[in-house]
Amino acid sequence: MKWTIKNKFFISYLLLFTVAGIVFHVMISKAMEQDTVKEIEQDLQQLQYTTMEYLRQMQSGKSDNILETSAGEVAYKLSEIHHHSVALFNARGEFIYESIPIDSTLLMSQSKYNENLPIDSVSQLNLAYDNQSSYYLSKVNDGTIVYFTFPVYIEGEFLGILRFTGDYTSVFERNDQLVNSFSALTVLLLVGVFIISLILTNQITKPLHQLKEVTNQISSGNYNVVIPKKSQDEIGDLSDSFSVMLDRVKNYTEKMEVDYQQIVSLEQERTSLFQNVTHELRTPLTTISGYAQIIGDKDFSDRVFLMKAAERIYGESNRLNALVTQLLTMSKETNTLEKTMVNVSEVIETICEDFQMKMKDKNITFSLSLQPLHVFMNENELKQIFINLIDNSVKYSKENATISILVDQTIQIRNECKPLHTRTKEQLFLPFNRVDKVNSHGLGLYITKQLVEKNGGQIRANVSNESFEVEVAFLT
């Protein structure tokens, strides 16, 4: 058997109530016995008093010792009055007479005083000759007998000794009945208290058992458990506290799971970014290395190819420089930069003027509608955002197209472009999104999105068949 709290309570209650019952029974028995003895002593005192009054009346006016001259009458009368056996002894210790109630079988069977007894052979007679009353109880097979002996002195003259033998069986039977009744009542009371204690203990241990089951479920990873509350006492408070703790653990676990997924996602992004950066760096370096090997050959003399190679090397060098610049920008995103109130319209207008030379080859123009819009952020970061967006619009616009820029509560940049691949639309703000040679981009939009969100803004893109629109909103 497992030594559970419930079993501990059960054993403790059983031992406690058993000991209490035994102690209570002993105490009741002792109390009843003392009360019975006191009652017998009072009865014997009354018997002695009544007997002496009777003997004084009979001895009054007589010179002879009535215990000897009227022994039969005295013994019979006293036996009739007190319903006891009465034995008379003279002053010399000689047995004189005994009267026994004929209706008392027990006293008839216990009669002993029908012959002379030496004084020294009976302790009670010795006490009586020493002028002392005495009694003792005798348990016999059929009941309980009390022997009461006292000396008879009338007007200072010692007449003899009286010995009463009484049947007190009914008194002790009544005492035993009362003790048994009290014991039975005590047992019933203790059993009732024991049952109530077990019920209360079960009410205490049952919620604890339920909490244990809930704990086992939680330890196995199940946090969607309900803790029942069935009382408004300390156990109920414990259930409430446990529920609060469970909710906190559940929320903390969910947060840890979210954080873990974010870490996994960031690690995947880091790995993907590293692989893409490696690829993007390798491509221009391979091109530059290839052309350098060709034109560096000692027998090379093709002037036209040399010009073409120089142009490609220059272009790949610029591409490599732009890529490194973007990577440096990403590495500085976490730095704290000084912020001021900046007019967005002025920044965009300046950037558009700088792009005029680049747009001449494709015959692209700007359509500007600029309202004053001030934002609190670092001016260089704001310039980087719109340089990336406008450069992206110029790079992917059709020839003879118009790039529309609207600044009001938000900033909208719209340009006409070739149809985009579905996968490209879904991954516009991811780094190094590459579907094919046409549908691909590097870090520009990714960096732009990071800078916008870093400053508490939002950016979204609307793509249709032949148009691309970006909308940026800042907190003003």
Tens digit of pLDDT for each residue in 87-96? 999 888 788 9
pLDDT tens per residue, range 447-474: 888 888 888 899 988 887 778 899 999 8
| pLDDT given for residue 438 in this prediction | 46
Q: pLDDT class for 109, splitting at 50, 70, 90?
A: confident
Residue 373 binned pLDDT confidence (cut-offs 50, 70, 90):
very high
181 pLDDT tier (thresholds 50, 70, 90): confident
| SS3 assignment for the chain | CCCCHHHHHHHHHHHHHHHHHHHHHHHHHHHHHHHHHHHHHHHHHHHHHHHHHHHHHHHCCCCCCHHHHCHHHHHHHHHHHHCCEEEEEECCCCEEEEECCCCCHHHHHCCCCCCCCCHHHCHHHHHHHCCCCEEEEEEECCEEEEEEEEEEEECCEEEEEEEEEEECHHHHHHHHHHHHHHHHHHHHHHHHHHHHHHHHHHHHHHHHHHHHHHHHHHHCCCCCCCCCCCCCCHHHHHHHHHHHHHHHHHHHHHHHHHHHHHHHHHHHHHHHHHHHHHHHHHHHHHHHHHHHHHHCCCCCCCHHHHHHHHHHHHHHHHHHHHHHHHHHHHHCCCCCCCCEEEEHHHHHHHHHHHCHHHHHHHCCEEEEEECCCEEEECHHHHHHHHHHHHHHHHHHECCCCEEEEEECCCEEEEEEECCCCHHHHHCCCCCCCECCCCCECCCHHHHHHHHHHHCCCEEEEEECCCEEEEEEECCC
Which has the higher per-residue pLDDT, 467 or 116?
467
Query: What pLDDT, on a 0 to 100 scale, did the predictor assign at position 108?
Result: 76
**Tens of pLDDT along 287-297?**
787 778 888 77
- 258-285 pLDDT, tens digit each: 888 888 777 776 665 565 566 556 657 7
**Per-residue model confidence (pLDDT) at position 203:** 74
